[in-house]
Amino acid sequence: MSQDRRYSFEFFPTKTDAGHEKLIATARQLASYNPDFFSCTYGAGGSTRDRTINTVLQLESEVKIPAAPHLSCVGDSKADLRSLLSQYKAAGITRIVALRGDLPSGMGMASGELRHANDLVEFIRDETGEHFHIEVAAYPEMHPQARNFEDDLLNFVRKANAGANSAITQYFFNADSYFYFVDRVRKMGVDIPVVPGIMPITNYSKLARFSDACGAEIPRWIRKQLEAYGDDTSSIQSFGEQVITQMCERLLQGGAPGLHFYTLNQAEPSLAVWNNLKLPR
């Protein structure tokens, strides 16, 4: 896109052919809005590796939007990672989201030759030079496994210093947490763009479970209003759209360098916010 800010959408690889067909249909719908790229997640310990690869290659070749695969180092050897990087490079992929990755149940912390995301970023740079634009994760409300907020900030600085080009945050519902995080890392010498990750609100029970697991705080006033709606899906979606749109307006007005939408493989909730914001196409 020609504007200074960048906008992107994230998918997760599906387990069924029907789900995959729906994902590609959703991607084609979102592609008409001319996003900068699509990203595709990678399961715990690389458990969805093949589906991630296939989805990314199809998004790149058929949907014609640049695709950014998630790449995690947990459970993968350097040889595995080297092979994946070679495959992506040969396919014309130029952007990667580099993560430590989630530990699957029963897997020890020592699994894989690389322990941390900054090790993975450094490995990608050593193997491929400047070929890939490397995204890393940021946690405005702290990674749930970090010892404390200061340690988490230092972890982010290490990823940036290892060669990351930009960052995408975990989703949040408190814009102040984003601005505080960015201000702190700027004072620590990190100047890479930090793009807010945006999670549309469509289902309260699922959102609450997911947020509790990943450490994303749902402000009490939002929880209480969503609880009050009960099973009224229409009211939940309308309220959620309003809340997310207003937060995104504040983020962009405050200087956020773009938005990254966690679509959960659905087009409409993200596009409702996009259209409310009158973002460029």
Residues assigned a catalytic role: 10
| Paired residues of 259 in beta bridges | 7
Distance CA 83, CA 192 (A): 28
Cβ-based burial of 167 (10 A; exposed 0-12, middle 13-18, buried ≥19) = buried
Distance CA 124, CA 134 (A): 9
- Coil, strand or helix at 168: strand
* Single-letter amino acid, residue 188: M
Contact 111, 149 (CB under 8 A): no
In eight-state DSSP terms, residue 61 is I
Distance CA 270, CA 273 (A): 5
- Coil, strand or helix at 71: strand
Rg, the chain, Cα only: 18
| Paired residues of 171 in beta bridges | 197
